[in-house]
Structures are given as C-alpha cells and as structure tokens.
Amino acid sequence: MSVNKKKIYISLIEIIVVIALTIGIFKFVVIPVRIEGVSMENTLHDHSIAMINATGIQEDNIQRFDIVVLNSQQLNEKIIKRVIGLPNETVKFMNDELYINGNHIEQDFLDDDFVEKAKITYNVDQFTDDFEVTLADGEYFVMGDNRLRSTDSRELGPFRLDDIVGMKGLVIYPFSDIQWID
C-alpha cells in the first residue's frame, strides 16, 4: 500500500470514528431540544435551543425544581417542564403558594415581575389555580414556569421516571440567552 493510500485510509477511519462518536453523543449523552411555546417563560424562551443531559436519570438524581424533558404519551411529543412534586408527596397550591406535605416551599425561580405582568395580561387574580394532589411511589408532578400557559401535570397527570428522558443542560441558542439549565 502506498503512503498516499495509507493516509487516505487512516483519514477515512478517523472520519468514521468522529461520525460514530457524534451520533453516540447525540443518541445517548445529550438531547437537542427546541423550546416550543411559552410554557417555560420567563426561564426558557420560545424557539430557544438547548442541549439536555440524557445520562444519570435515576430517582435519587431528580430533585425538586430540576428542569426535565419528558415523553408525553398524551401529547405524543417531548415536553420540557420543572419538577414540583416528588414521589409520595402531597403537592398543594393555595393563593399562589406552594406547599409540599403541608410545608410552605419558596419558588425562587419564578420572576415576580413576570408573574405580576402575566396576571394583568390574562386578567386573573392567581398565577396558579388552587389544587391538591398526592403522588404515588415513582410519580413526579411537573409544571411549566408560565403557569397560565402550560399544559403539564395539572392536565396530563403525574409522570413516571421512565417518562423522563433528560434533565439539566445548556441553552445554546439564541446566543444572547446562553445559560445553564438546572
């Protein structure tokens, strides 16, 4: 084999390895997600693109307020939401306040100005309607940050661990919105 043919052969192998690694990374390590709609405003914006971690999804890794990507059987699509309730908890909203098992929980991720503007825009008194739900073993309650425009566990019911396909990550587009998602 001549030197030139050997170089071409090695280059071809390198290209195949890079393609295989890239496919492997996008299939098993990260999930590209395009944010569709306003359900996660003011945290994630419509048409943003994020790379979401698809590894390490185990019950003990999922914490309250993590942002997750889920397979929604009812909607027949992937959705991105925030974990509010964990397995075996009672989730209650009363007067826009969150209670878990009777204990008040602050929602520091919500932007107060955004919440107030949304209530005025949609002419409502509450950002989150009152409700109470008790989760079974292995169930997660998720909600969009824009409670007035989110289809989430309030309508779809709780999700299970196998529904969660990714969690945490990085918004990569638009470049002005680059941020970690945790």
Q: Pick the catalytic residue: 5, 27, 81, 92?
A: 81
On the CB side of 65, CA atoms within 13 Å amount to: 10
Q: Bridge partners of 69?
A: 80, 166
- Token couple for 5: 């043919």
| Region of 66 on the Ramachandran plot (φ > 0 left; ψ -120 to 50 alpha; else beta) | beta
Does the annotation mark 48 as catalytic?
Answer: no
Q: Which of 5, 11, 39, 78 is catalytic?
A: 39
Report residue 78 as tokens.
């992937």
For residue 168, the surrounding DSSP H or E stretch is: strand 164-173
**Could you confirm whether 7 is annotated as catalytic?**
no
The residues carrying an active-site annotation are: 39, 81
